[in-house]
Chains A and B, each alone.
Chain A
Amino acid sequence: KAGVTQTPRYLIKTRGQQVTLSCSPISGHRSVSWYQQTPGQGLQFLFEYFSETQRNKGNFPGRFSGRQFSNSRSEMNVSTLELGDSALYLCASSGTGADYGYTFGSGTRLTVV
């Protein structure tokens, strides 16, 4: 069973630009959630999507947005990048029943210069 796939692995962007990150969940998983990890703030929840609907959102500014497609793949977008957005962005997919739990992808390392 293929794992959670995140692309790209590394990204360097300039302040003010925007960026889109992609996450393909484990086949059959309909829930995708996103997290930001920084040395100062640790792991923080961004948002969660289930069947193309955002069910839950963390405490991040509106510059952070996401969506989910009918095949459960999800994207997150950050507009007007700031230096403080430099982080490891992780997505997790979750199933139901015996498949319960959160499996994380390898992450996208975003550097804003």
Chain B
Amino acid sequence: ELKVEQNPLFLSMQEGKNYTIYCNYSTTSDRLYWYRQDPGKSLESLFVLLSNGAVKQEGRLMASLDTKARLSTLHITAAVHDLSATYFCAVDLRSQGNLIFGKGTKLSVKP
């Protein structure tokens, strides 16, 4: 059974600090996604990582994928309050709409 584990599940940061969220998965996959969810809202796509060594950056967020280690990271640089949300990683099984999600990391950025 495929497992996707995120850590930490809760993260309280101060503005201006850096931190990394980790996503480990238990089976071979070349496709990994990161999503952001605000309370009561849907999932907003942040990054699509489609190959080993892929690195993508958008603003203060940078995601990477190491398929050999079955590990993806989401790095936050100089956090700001607007980044407060829950972040999910998801692994794509068989490219047939079967995304397996981690439990999410609830990020709170405090002044």
Contacts and interface: CB of A to CB of B under 8 A. Distances in A.
Given A102-B33, A107-B42, A94 B97 contact: yes
A92 B44 CA distance: 11
Interface stretch (B18-26, B58-66, B99-107): B99-107
Contact of A33 (B33, B50, B88, B97): B97
Interface residues of B, number: 20
Contacts, number: 60
Q: Is the interface of B mostly helix, strand, loop or mixed?
A: strand
Interface of B: 33, 35, 41-45, 48, 50, 88, 90, 94, 96-101, 103-104
Chain A interface size, as a band, is: 20 to 34
A48 interface: yes
B35 to A, nearest CB: 8
A68 to B, nearest CB: 11
